[in-house]
Chain A
Amino acid sequence: MNYLQNSRIEMSFACLIFLVGSLGSMVQAEEVGDRWGTEQRERAYYPIVNVPLPKDVVIEVGAFAVLPDSRVAIGTRHGEIYLMSGIDDKKPNPSFDLFATGLDEIFGLAYKDNTFYVTQSCELTRVSDTNQDGKADRFETVSDAWGYANYHEYAFGSKFDRDGNLFVALGLSQSYESNALFRGFTMKVSPEGKSTAYSSGLRSPAGIGTDEHGALFYVESQGPWNCSCSLKALSPGSFQGHPASFNWYKNAPELGPVPEMPKSGSRIVVERERVKELVPYAVVFPYIRMGRSITGFTVNQTKGKFGPFENQLFLGDFTLSVIMRATTEQVNGVWQGACYPFREGLSTGILNVNFTPEGNLLCGGTNRGWPVRGIKPFALERLEWSGKMPFEIERITIEPSGFKIAFTKPVDKVLGSQPETYKIATFTHPYHGGYGGPEIETSTPPVKSVSISEDGMTASLVLDGLTRGHVYDFDLNALRSSDKEELLHRKAYYTVNEIPLR
C-alpha cells in the first residue's frame, strides 16, 4: 500500500477546511422555507421504519383498519384489501394476504362482525368472506346514495361512531363544482343502512373521523374558500364553507333550508354571524408551513406506547411527506384547537395513518396524481417512539385571557418565566372564492405575563386581548427545558374561533 498520498490528502484537507463553513451555510439556506429542518433531530425520538412490501406489487395505502386479532388491514388505491400480520415485529417483515380485489380506490375501512365496511370511490360496500377461505366473496352495496360522474370526486369514509354510524365525505366535481348529486356533502349511513345528508360545503375532503371526544371532524384541502388546509368540525346541518353544493338541498330536506350565500372576500368570523350554518375552521394548518394537502387522521390512544401525545390527532401531508399533530377543544360550543409539527422525511405522499396494536404509527401513501416531496412512488412506513422523551409543546389550550401551553418536559423556569421567550404572531385569512389566499391582518401581540406551574410542565400566558378568527402562531425558539434542551419543534398554531368567558 502506498502511504505517500496521505500527506497530500491531509494538506488538501487542511486547505479545504475554510470551505466547510460556506458549505454549511448553503445547506442551511436550502432548508429555509418549506422544511422544518428538524428531521435529523426527530429521528432520535421517532425513528421511521420502512415496512417491506411484497415484490412486484403496488400497494398504495388509502385506509387502515385494525382487526380484533391484531392483524392490520390495508385498503389501497388500486382497490385491494390486504391483511398484514406481524406489523409490530421489531424488524417488520409482515405477511400480506390479499383479502379482496376489484374495488375502486379505498379511502375508508371500518371493521365490524367479521365484515369490512369499505368506502370506495363508487359506494360504501360491505365486504365479507362467507365461505371463510380467506378471500372476500361478498360485496354488498350499503350506500351509493350520491352521484359519482366526474374527475376528482373522491369519497372518504369514517370508522363507526359511538352509535354505529358511518360517515362519507364527498369531494366536489373536479374539486370546484358540484355537478353530481350530493358532491360536497357528508352523508351519514346509519347501522340499518339508511343514508341521509349530514352537512354541506365541503371542497376536497381528504379524511374523516372522530377525535378523542367522539366529535366528528374532516380534513379539508386548501383551495377556493379555504386559504389553508384545515380540520373542520361536522355537525348535523352544518355548512363547511364552500357553497358549490347548495344546489342539492332540494334533494336533502333533512338539511333544512339552503344557507345564506357567503360573501366572497369577507372573513369567516364575520360570515359565521350571517350564515348561521357556517362552521369555522377548527384547526387551520398554515399553508406550506403546516402542509399543502393534509390527509387522513387518527387519534393516539396508545396509552403512552407512542410517547407523550395521548388523545391527540395525528395526520399526514400528501405533498410534503410529513406527519403532524393536532389537538381540539370545544369553546362556547365551537370546536377549535392547534396543530404542531411532528415528523418530516417520510418517503412518499401520506394518505392515511393508523396506530398499530402495539402503538406504532403506520403511515402509508403514494405520490400518484400530485406533486410529492417523498421520492417513492408508494411506501408503507412505521413511526415508532424510541422511548426517549422529546422536549415538545404537548398542547396549547385557550384561556379567557391567553393560552396555556403544556410541555412534555419541565421548562427552564428562568427562561420560561420571561414573556419575551414566547414570540406570538397572528393572522387571519380572507374567506373568499379565490384559490388559496394570503395571511392578512397580521399582528405580533406581546405576552403580558407568564406563569410557570410548580412542576414546570405548563406555562400560562396572558395576552392583551385575543382576536377571534385569528390563527396564533407560536415560536418558542428561545425556550429551553430544565436540562437546557431546545424544543424539538419550536412552532405551534392555535386557531381562535371563540374565547372562553371564564
Chain B
Amino acid sequence: MVIEVDDTSINTKTQNAGEELIVHAQRMRMGLALIAFIAVLCRESSSAEPIIPGLFSKHPLTKVQVGELLIGELRCAACHTGLRQSVVSERTAPELANVGGRLNPEYLKRFLSSPEAAHPGTTMPDLLASETPSRRDQIAEALTHFLVAQSSSKFQADEIESKESTNGKELFHSVGCVACHAPRDDADKETTNEGVVSLEHLSSKYHRKSLGDFLYQPLRVRSSGRMPDMKLTLDESSAIAGYLLKERNESAKQLETQDKLVSEGKKYFQELNCAACHKLGDNSAAETRSLSIADATRGCLSKTPSKSPQFNLDEAQTNAIREALSSKTQDDTDKTRIALPLTAFNCIACHIREDYGGVSEGRNAHFQTSEKNIGDDGRIPPPLTLVGAKLQPVWMKKVLFDGESVRYYMFTRMPQYGERNLQDLPECLGRTDTLPSVDLKIPNPEGQSKGEREREKVLRTAGRELLGDKGVYCVACHSFNGKPSPINQGIDLMTTYQRLQPGWFNEFVRNPGKYRPRIVMPFSWPGGVASHTTILEGNTDQQIEAIWYYLSLGRSAADPSGIRGQESKLTVTDSTRTYRGRSNVAGFRGIAVGFPEHLNFAFNAETGTLTSLWQGDYIRVDRSGQGSGSFNPASKLVPLHQDVSFAELPDETTPWPLRPVMTKEQPVNQDPLYPKSLGYQFKGYFMDDAAIPTFMYRFGEIEVQDRSVAVALGDKWVLERTIQFVSPRDQTVWFRALVGEVEAESKREFKTTNLRITIPVAETLVRSLAKDSPASELLLKLSIPQNKSTLTFTYELLAK
C-alpha cells in the first residue's frame, strides 16, 4: 500500500502485493498520530475497512473532501444532525421489503451478527460490537426472523447450471463489473482484495435467480446507484449470476420463522435504530443527534467497542472524517460538485477527467472492443475532460440516464446510476466545461435569398465530397446511417449533429490528437491547412462548416462515396422461404419462393402466374426505398410470362388477354380491372409443415390450389407443380403454359432455349405471338371435370 499524505490531500492506491509502506511526509503535521496510523495499517493488512471503490481510483479529492465523501457514503447524517448537506446524492441502504426472499437467511444472520466478517469491506456498521458473541448471535437470529417474516417470498436455493458460466465470466470481465469488483483468475478466485467490493460472499448470500434479478435491476433494491444498472439483459444477468455463484452455492435451509423471535427482532430493529438507514414498513427512525467536533474521537469514530455503530474504519478514513468535521467551510464549487460524484460513483475507474481518473493498469486488459483497429479509443471509455462542452445537454442526459450509447463496438458499458442520483451533474459539467464559441452557419435550403440557396447547394456538395473517399474520407472509419464503412466501424457519423456541440466539433476535427493523444483519427487539416485544395478552394473553415452542415441533414444526406451499400441478399437454408415484394420479374404483387434445394421460382399474385424460375441463390432485396423491398433473383433467371394464366377463349384465334402495360407516356392503367374482369381472384396461400406454400385463387367458378415443390430428376432438381381444381361443373378453360421460342419435343414435352416443361395430357396449341415473330406461346385446352381434379407440370431448367 502506498499512502501519500500532505496537509491537503490523502490518496490511497493499490500497489503490488508486497504491502510495502512508504510515507511521504514533507509537510507532516501529524506527529504521533501518523505513527499510530502506520501501526494500525501494519496490524490490519487486509482491506477490511469500508470500501468506497472510487477512493482507490486516481481521484482528485483533498483529505477534507475524502472525509466529506465518507460522511455521506457511511450515512452519518442518518443519526446525526449538524452535518453539511453533501453535494453527492444520498447513499441509501438496501431495500429490505423482501430481503428474506432474496437472501439466504443463514447469511443474513451471519451478516447481522458481524457484517465485516460476513462481507469484508461492507459499509454496513457493526451495531452489536459491545455485545458478547452469544448475545450477538441471539440478536442477529431474532432480527433475521423478523426480516424473513415480513418478506413476501421465501428464499429457495436453486440448481446452478454451469453451461452458461463461460458467457457469464466473459460478461463479468468485459461489461464493467471489474471497475469496482475484483477480476478473477482461472480458478475463479478474486485476484485482489484492495479497493474492491469483494464478491466472495455471494454464494452464501444469494440464489441464482435472486442474484440475477438483482443484477438485472439493481436500483430496485439499491436505489442510490452505487451498484449501477449495467444494461444487462435478463439472460446476461442470469449468466453473470451463474458465474459468480458457480460451485459455491450452499444448500439453503428454509427458515421457519418463530413468532417469539419475530417480535423480538422487531424490538431490536427499533432499538438498534435500523430504520435510520433502512426504510421498512412503519418502523420509524430514532431522532437524530447533534454532532459536535468534540465528539470526533468517541462513538463511531472510536476504536473502543461501544454501543455506537462500528464501521471498522481505518486510521486514514477516521482522520479524513475528523478533518472534514473540523473544517469550517464547505467547498461547493462546480469543480467539487463534479469531482465528488465522479469519485463516489467511481466514474473515474473508466474515465479520465483532466488530471484524474482513468483505467488502472491492472484492469486495462479487461477493456475490450470488436473494432481493434480503432485503438484504445475503441475500448477505453472516452475522457470526460471538457465533456460538458462536447455533448449537447440533452444527449448527455440520454447517455447518463436513458442508456444511450453510440460506441457499440466497446464491450464495457456505460452504467446507469439513476437520474435521481446524478441529476445535478450534467448542468455542472455544462457550466464548467467551455470552449471558444463558434458559429457554424447552417444554410437553409428553402431560404428566402438566392444566395442562401446557392450556398446550401455548394456546402451540401462539398460536405458529401469531403466525407467520402475522394475527400477527407471520414467514412473510411465511421459508419454512416447504419451502413458499414469499408475499413473500421467507428461511431456512426449520423449521430454527430445530435450529440456534439458545434464548438467541440470544430475544435476536435481540426486537432483530434489534442483531445485524444493516441487517437487513430488523422489530422485532416494539419496546421489548419486543408489538403483538399479543390474543395471549397481549400478553405478550412468552410470545409468544416460543410461537413457539419452535411451531418445536420440526417437521413436526407446521400451516402458519401466509399460507403458500402446495404447487403441484402436473402438466403434459403433448411426450410422453404416465401417472400412478398415488388419485382420486375413478378409484378408489384410478387412472391418469391426458394427451396432448400436451391431451386427458386417467382409468382405474380396479381395474375396467378408462375413467372420465372432460377437455380442457385435465392433473391436480392433492395430496401433503400419503399416496402419490404423490391426483389430480384440472385441468380440468372428463366422468365416465363406475367400475364394471366387462365382464360376463356371463344376460339383458337382469339389472342391471349395480355396485362395492361403502363409507360411514361401512358402511366395510367387503362384496364384497371384486369385480370379480375377475366374471372381471376387471388385468395392467398397456406404453408405445410415444410413451409411450402400452396397458392389459392379462383378462376371464374373454379377454385384453384397451386403448389410447387423441388423434386429430383437424375442429378438435378426440377420444379413439380400440381394444380388442383374444384369446379361446380364440367368446363373448358385455356391455360398458358409457356412463352418463348417454343419447340415441341413430344406430345407432353415442350422446351424453349433454357426450359423444358412436361405437361399433363391435354389438347395443346402452339401459336406465334405475332406475325414474323420467332416467339410463340404454348396453350393448353383443359377440360376441367366437375368436383376435384389435379394436373401436374414439371419445369426443368436447361443449361444453354
Chain A residues near B (Cβ < 8 Å): 1-3, 5-6, 9-10, 13, 16-17, 19-20, 22-23, 26-27, 30, 39-40, 43, 47-50, 52, 77-79, 90-91, 93, 101-105, 120-123, 125-126, 130-131, 137-141, 144, 147-154, 173, 177-181, 247-248, 251, 345, 349, 367-373, 375-377
A50 to chain B minimum Cβ distance, whole angstroms, is 6
Residue of A nearest to B427 (CB): A40
Contact partner, A148, options B588, B628, B685, Cβ 8 Å: B588
Contact assessment for B588 and A122 in the assembled complex, using a CB-CB cutoff below 8 Å: yes
Task: Give 4 closest A-B pairs by Cβ, nearest first.
Answer: A371-B556, A377-B482, A181-B672, A79-B628
A125 to B627, CA, bound (A): 16
Given contacts A144-B605, A149-B588, A180-B669, 16 further A-B contacts (CB under 8 A): A3-B60, A5-B355, A23-B437, A30-B502, A101-B577, A102-B578, A104-B582, A105-B626, A144-B606, A147-B672, A148-B606, A152-B626, A179-B667, A181-B672, A345-B394, A370-B555
B347 to chain A minimum Cβ distance, whole angstroms, is 17
Residue of B nearest to A146 (CB): B672
Residue of A nearest to B59 (CB): A1
Provide the residues of chain A in CB contact with B402, threshold 8 Å: 47-50
Convert B21-60 into 0s and 1s, putting 1 for each residue whose CB lies closer than 8 angstroms to a CB of A. Answer: 0000000000000000000000000000000000000101
B8 to chain A minimum Cβ distance, whole angstroms, is 7
B contacts with A, residue count (CB < 8 A): 81
A433 to B591, CA, bound (A): 37
Contact assessment for B394 and A372 in the assembled complex, using a CB-CB cutoff below 8 Å: no
Contact assessment for A10 and B335 in the assembled complex, using a CB-CB cutoff below 8 Å: yes
Contact assessment for B439 and A148 in the assembled complex, using a CB-CB cutoff below 8 Å: no
Contact assessment for B217 and A90 in the assembled complex, using a CB-CB cutoff below 8 Å: yes
Provide the residues of chain A in CB contact with B481, threshold 8 Å: 367, 377
A238 to B10, CA, bound (A): 79
Cβ of B126 within 8 Å of any chain A Cβ, yes or no, is no
Contact assessment for B578 and A104 in the assembled complex, using a CB-CB cutoff below 8 Å: no
Provide the residues of chain A in CB contact with B683, threshold 8 Å: 140-141
- The SS class assigned to the A binding surface is loop
Convert B554-598 into 0s and 1s, putting 1 for each residue whose CB lies closer than 8 angstroms to a CB of A. Answer: 111000000000000000000001111110000111010000000
Provide the residues of chain A in CB contact with B556, threshold 8 Å: 370-371
Chain B residues near A (Cβ < 8 Å): 4, 8-9, 11, 58, 60, 216-217, 220, 229, 233-234, 335, 354-356, 389, 392-394, 397-398, 401-404, 431-432, 434-437, 439, 481-482, 492, 494-495, 498, 501-503, 553-556, 577-582, 587-589, 591, 605-606, 623-629, 662, 667-669, 672-673, 681-689, 696
Contact partner, B662, options A2, A10, A153, A179, Cβ 8 Å: A179
A3 to B63, CA, bound (A): 12
Provide the residues of chain B in CB contact with A1, threshold 8 Å: 4, 9, 11, 58, 60, 355-356
Residue of A nearest to B676 (CB): A145
Provide the residues of chain A in CB contact with B217, threshold 8 Å: 90-91
Provide the residues of chain B in CB contact with A9, threshold 8 Å: 335, 354-355
Q: Could you list 23 A-B pairs, sorted by A, with CB under 8 Å?
A: A1-B4, A3-B60, A19-B434, A19-B435, A50-B402, A78-B629, A93-B216, A101-B577, A102-B591, A104-B627, A122-B580, A137-B686, A139-B686, A140-B684, A141-B605, A153-B588, A179-B667, A181-B669, A368-B624, A370-B556, A372-B555, A375-B494, A377-B482
Contact assessment for B667 and A367 in the assembled complex, using a CB-CB cutoff below 8 Å: no
Contact assessment for A23 and B588 in the assembled complex, using a CB-CB cutoff below 8 Å: no
If A91-B217, A371-B554 touch, whether A122 touches B589 (CB-CB below 8 Å) is yes
Contact assessment for A173 and B626 in the assembled complex, using a CB-CB cutoff below 8 Å: no
A466 to B673, CA, bound (A): 48
Provide the residues of chain A in CB contact with B689, threshold 8 Å: 131
Contact assessment for A368 and B669 in the assembled complex, using a CB-CB cutoff below 8 Å: no
Contact assessment for A149 and B8 in the assembled complex, using a CB-CB cutoff below 8 Å: no
B672 to chain A minimum Cβ distance, whole angstroms, is 4
Contact assessment for A93 and B628 in the assembled complex, using a CB-CB cutoff below 8 Å: no
A211 to chain B minimum Cβ distance, whole angstroms, is 28
Contact assessment for A251 and B672 in the assembled complex, using a CB-CB cutoff below 8 Å: yes
A502 to chain B minimum Cβ distance, whole angstroms, is 44
Provide the residues of chain B in CB contact with A247, threshold 8 Å: 668
If A367-B554, A371-B555 touch, whether A27 touches B431 (CB-CB below 8 Å) is no
A90 to B216, CA, bound (A): 11
A434 to B687, CA, bound (A): 48
Q: Which of B335, B555, B577, B673 has the most chain A CB atoms inside 10 A of its CB?
A: B555
Contact partner, B581, options A91, A104, A131, A180, Cβ 8 Å: A104
A47 to B439, CA, bound (A): 32
Residue of A nearest to B499 (CB): A375
A177 to B623, CA, bound (A): 23
Residue of B nearest to A151 (CB): B626
Provide the residues of chain A in CB contact with B435, threshold 8 Å: 19, 23
A482 to B435, CA, bound (A): 40
Contact assessment for B627 and A2 in the assembled complex, using a CB-CB cutoff below 8 Å: no
B95 to chain A minimum Cβ distance, whole angstroms, is 14
A126 to chain B minimum Cβ distance, whole angstroms, is 8
Contact assessment for A373 and B554 in the assembled complex, using a CB-CB cutoff below 8 Å: yes
Contact assessment for B669 and A23 in the assembled complex, using a CB-CB cutoff below 8 Å: no
Q: Which of A22, A131, A377 has the most chain B CB atoms inside 10 A of its CB?
A: A377
Provide the residues of chain A in CB contact with B436, threshold 8 Å: 19
Provide the residues of chain A in CB contact with B501, threshold 8 Å: 23, 27
B134 to chain A minimum Cβ distance, whole angstroms, is 43
B449 to chain A minimum Cβ distance, whole angstroms, is 17
Contact assessment for B393 and A40 in the assembled complex, using a CB-CB cutoff below 8 Å: yes
A144 to B58, CA, bound (A): 68
Contact partner, B628, options A19, A43, A77, Cβ 8 Å: A77
Q: Which of A121, A349, A373 has the most chain B CB atoms inside 10 A of its CB?
A: A121
If A6-B60, A19-B436, A149-B662 touch, whether A139 touches B673 (CB-CB below 8 Å) is no
Contact partner, A79, options B9, B437, B498, B580, Cβ 8 Å: B580
Provide the residues of chain A in CB contact with B432, threshold 8 Å: 13
Residue of A nearest to B588 (CB): A148
A284 to B436, CA, bound (A): 42
Provide the residues of chain A in CB contact with B555, threshold 8 Å: 349, 367-368, 370-372
Residue of B nearest to A251 (CB): B672
Provide the residues of chain A in CB contact with B494, threshold 8 Å: 375
Contact partner, A122, options B393, B437, B577, B605, Cβ 8 Å: B605
Q: Which of B436, B628, B681 has the most chain A CB atoms inside 10 A of its CB?
A: B628
